[in-house]
Chains A and B, each alone.
Chain A
Amino acid sequence: MSRLLLRPAVKPAVFVLALLPFALLVHGVLTRTLGANPAEALIRSLGDWTLRFLCLTLAVTPLRQWTGWHALARLRRMMGLYTFFYAALHFLAYTWFDMGFEWGDIVRDIGKRPFILVGTTAGLILVPLAATSFNAAIRRLGAARWQLLHRGIYAVAGLAILHFYWMRAAKHNFAEVAVYAAILGVLLGWRIWKALAPRYFMKLGSHNAKG
């Protein structure tokens, strides 16, 4: 599998595949098949895809470790950038089709609806991550600082799920929220466990050595 993932065609194939939801939405707009309220359908669908790519981005490292398919790492940056791509389109669709670029109204709306404030914050955190996603930026920042900055994705995950939860709270409709929360919970929980478990076992180990 790892060898398959190393083939040169994999990256372009994944690139095209990840563009497919966007292409289908554009197709839906052009053929007017997005239902009675196309603006709402577009905004929500772009939000769903942001969340899905966020899950995929965060799944790369755990999957690599569980399966041993280390070549997956080649796709992580692309997944992260697609998360940003769909998040930016989600925000653009909201400001354009819902608010008609009335910036005064948008600012008032953000104040009135906390879930929009939370979503906007998550989107803003993604900007510096996307802007430092090329190799020269890693060299310029230094690997340690770059990694610290890119841990911002964990905050984005928390804010994104809160944004989705709050949005659905109006209808007490939490089934889908629970699915995404569970996925993100596992992906973040695994990282916490990886970070804390070695220290814990080391402590145990040193106790035993003394005992």
Chain B
Amino acid sequence: MLLPRHRGFVHPIASDITPRPVFEARRALTFAALAGLAAPWSARAQPAAVRGSPLAGTRSPVPGAVTMDKPTSLQDISTYNNYYEFGTDKSDPAREAHRLKTRPWTVMIEGEVRKPGTFGIDDLLRMSAMEERIYRLRCVEGWSMVIPWVGWSLAELIRRVEPTGNAKFVQFVTLADPAQMPGLRSSVLDWPYLEGLRLDEAMHPLTLLAFGVYGQVLPNQNGAPVRLIVPWKYGFKSAKSIVKIRFVEQQPPTSWELAAPQEYGFYSNVNPKVDHPRWSQATERRIGEGDLFAKKRPTLMFNGYEPQVGSLYAGMDLKKSF
């Protein structure tokens, strides 16, 4: 029997090779563990920002889609996350999200549409031209970032599946797999995480289906492989790792509204004049801006997107529909 001569790096089965994000996440985990051993009572060690495969987008022509604010570093964007499926601490997702398998991945479209169906992640990646959009992100907790997302308007997908006249709202269902997501053991929220928009909000050109950030595929902790971005609403409205989009006639339940209806409303538009019952929403801390002594910024109505989206809420009492 002839054995092939050794020719350097030969691997019979491609899937046996540890993918780059996985080994990098492992490496980050190892370093984090070592740093943790070295200084158990200092502040938590920061894992390195995960570097993914490239995913380029062209500068978006949509009005308001490219802010002039200075983008937050990828390091901060990928290590300071609220993604409770991987733990409630902000450093948990960067440590735990390497468990998430983002391929194969499908998004099911169902409900009040003429063309329901299931789209693979590769179909979605090819569906429309990738755009880079630099959006402000305001968390309901009082901090903000500026993030260069890569993706395309959700409206592109909605037009393709042809909503019927009964479709008034869109519900987003996200992944809830205990085998991949250690945070599901906690009872913070009812899983799966649910979000929703009015159809006209979902159709707005600023509403983004994002696949990447900083010209590369989304790190898992940022909601890979596909997530929603609604820049004029508090961050929790922008559901991560979406597996199902449902078109419905009645306003759908959302996770935070179910958990604390007096604190989190369906709309959750960024609004400095409507406080959260337990804290003020008038100002925000911009992550990475200045040092410890940096002043907070005033929060802007609709997170600064009022010229683009204000008309969606004409005549509504935003104190009642918070």
Contact = CB atoms under 8 A, between A and B. Distances in A.
B79 A24 contact: no
A68 to B, nearest CB: 29
Contacts of A41: 43-44
B311 interface: no
B280 A171 contact: no
B44 A35 contact: yes
Nearest to B260: A170
Nearest to A45: B43
Interface string B30-50: 000000000101111110000
A33 B80 CA distance: 13
A38 B292 contact: yes
Given A36-B80, A97-B293, A112 B280 contact: yes
Chain B, interface SS category: loop
Chain A, interface SS category: helix
A125 interface: no
B42 A35 contact: no
B280 A109 contact: yes
Contacts of B318: none
B254 interface: no
Contacts, number: 73
Contact of A170 (B91, B187, B278): B278
A71 interface: no
B292 A36 contact: no
Nearest to B40: A24
Contacts of B84: 171
B26 interface: no
A82 to B, nearest CB: 14
Interface string A92-130: 000011001000010011001100000000000000000
Contacts of A29: 292
A97 B292 contact: yes
Interface residues of A, number: 30
Given A29-B292, A112-B275, A172-B186, A37 B280 contact: no
A10 interface: no
B129 interface: no
A44 to B, nearest CB: 9
Interface residues of B, number: 31
B262 interface: no
Contact of A36 (B39, B279, B288, B291): B288
Contacts of A39: 285, 292
Contact of A173 (B46, B88, B275, B291): B88
B287 interface: yes
A100 B296 contact: yes
Contacts of A32: 291
A112 B291 CA distance: 27
Nearest to A97: B292
Contacts of B39: 24
A29 B293 CA distance: 11
A27 interface: yes
B43 A113 contact: no
Nearest to B189: A172
Given A97-B292, A172-B188, A173-B88, A36 B79 contact: yes
Nearest to A35: B46
Interface string B281-298: 000010110011101100
B88 A171 contact: yes
A113 B278 CA distance: 6
B188 A171 contact: yes
B298 to A, nearest CB: 12
A105 B41 CA distance: 32
B122 interface: no
B200 interface: no
Given A24-B43, A42-B292, 19 more contacts: A20-B41, A24-B39, A25-B43, A32-B291, A33-B42, A35-B46, A35-B79, A35-B80, A35-B90, A36-B76, A36-B80, A38-B291, A39-B285, A41-B43, A100-B295, A100-B296, A112-B278, A113-B278, A172-B186
Query: What 10 A-B pairs come out closest when comparing CB atoms?
Result: A36-B80, A36-B76, A24-B42, A34-B43, A172-B188, A171-B88, A41-B43, A173-B88, A28-B43, A36-B287
14 contacts: A20-B41, A25-B42, A34-B43, A35-B44, A35-B46, A35-B90, A36-B80, A39-B285, A41-B43, A42-B292, A96-B293, A113-B279, A171-B84, A172-B187
Interface of A: 20-21, 24-25, 27-29, 32-39, 41-42, 45, 96-97, 100, 105, 108-109, 112-113, 170-173
